[in-house]
Amino acid sequence: MHPRLAAFLDDESRQVWALRRDDGTAVYLPDGMADEMRALAREHLRCPYPGCVCPISTRGGTKRRHHFFHRTTVSHPTEPESEAHLAAKAMLVDWARSRVPAGADVEEEQSLKDDDGRLIRRPDVLVTGASGRRVAFEVEYKNWSVEGWKAKQRDLDQAGVACLWLLGHTRVSLSRDGLGRSGETPVRVPGLASAIGRANTPLLVVNPVTRQVGTLSSSGSFTRRWRGEFWAYLRVDDLDDCAFDPRLGIRTPTLDQILAAEAIESQKEAATRQRQAEARQHLEDAWQASAVRADLLARHGAVPSFLEGPDTSVIRAAGVHWRAALWVDLVEGRTAVFAWPEVEATLRRHGLGWARDRRFLYGTVEQYMGVLARLGALRWYRKGYRSHFSPTGATVGQVIDGQAGEHRAAVIAREQQEKAEREAAAREAAYASDLEARRRTRLVIDEGGTRRWVPK
């Protein structure tokens, strides 16, 4: 695991943020600066916990993180907000005021009210631009329910406020599955974060102690945004390297990398769709100019609807093109049995190619032959391991009028009658042959009682 990620996910809980007593400005204590900031802390700073008046100072050492501490014993309840939550809010206010455009206002716990003056929500941090556009920052360190998040997000949406959700770093843990294929270490996130990700709502991970934010990605190469999967990849950026965005709240360098990669991928997909559209148009043009289409129009005035169907990636032709070719050359008005050699020869004759693996070709053609069989235009049976197709001689009109089934039934009845007549004739011929054989022989019984026929 990268040391930067390890430090970000460390559960260091020492207090590193304080507020100035005069104007409430947030002050950060960098690691190793306890001595330099001790006088400032004692004279001008206070604890960020609401209502705390205990004097503070700084301390540090070579083996522990430099931090603020209360000079007298005091304890703060963790409700309604933890110290990490308070520190994150102070950090975000301090950062936003240094990043927002001129004329914008940054407030902590500012009330949002509806048109009737009723309280809607009170975001942790609210940025209001000179144009009135607003974006909220919401920090979540506790195990908040998905239902509660949905309700708050819905209220902010109705108020026209964009929102960036910042998941507390202690809510994220390293995956036990080890390194991903990219060499990055995946992390596990709580259900709340997954719900936010699936909703495509802006989400980052925050650590006020290291003064950093983390960006989640579905890809270890950080080329895709995270969409709420149970696992994710996390990359850490310093807050000072991030930019303010009136829609996303915070744009990290990692997010910029992801968005750039997604833009390139989107361009590739658009180019692929364009090539596919051009290929489809080429196949459509070939069908419009084909002799088989001209033949159908000349004989029937239109292309029969039962020849229409979806295109496939197996046969390199418009769907109606290859269906029409097989219909005209092998099925319409014909009774000759055909199999795969005739199918392939017909496609070649019309200049239509297919996928190299014939199994896909057979499956595609058999699916359509099943349609023609249900319409009564042919019978489909197997002889050994091979499919054979026996057209009933049905015409386009019979198929369209629904008479092809009756025609097929008549053909089957005629074939069955002819078969019965052939079998009866064969039996009569066998009987006559037996009689003739009896006339030319006589029965002989030898001394042992054995019976046998011998020529006369």
Q: Are 377 and 392 in contact (CB under 8 A)?
A: yes
pLDDT at 117: 66
Give the C-alpha separation, 192 to 115, whole Å: 30
Does position 275 have pLDDT exceeding 80, yes or no? yes
**Number of Cα atoms under 13 Å in the Cβ half of residue 399:** 24
Does position 306 have pLDDT exceeding 70, yes or no? yes
pLDDT at 358: 86
Q: How confident is the model at residue 326 (pLDDT cuts 50, 70, 90)?
A: very high
Q: Which of 23-32, 68-77, 444-453 has the lowest mean pLDDT?
A: 444-453
pLDDT at 183: 56
pLDDT at 75: 79
Does position 79 have pLDDT exceeding 80, yes or no? no
The arrangement of strands across the sheet holding 45-46 comes to 26-28, 17-20, 45-46
Chain segment 117-150, per-residue pLDDT in tens: 677 788 999 999 988 899 999 999 988 889 999 9
Chain segment 154-206, per-residue pLDDT in tens: 999 988 999 999 999 999 988 766 555 555 778 999 999 999 999 999 999 99
Closest CA to 127 of 244, 208, 252: 244
Q: Work out the percent of the chain whose per-residue pLDDT is above 70.
A: 93
Pairing of strands 386-391, 378-383: antiparallel
> For the residues 60-75, what does the mean pLDDT come to?
86
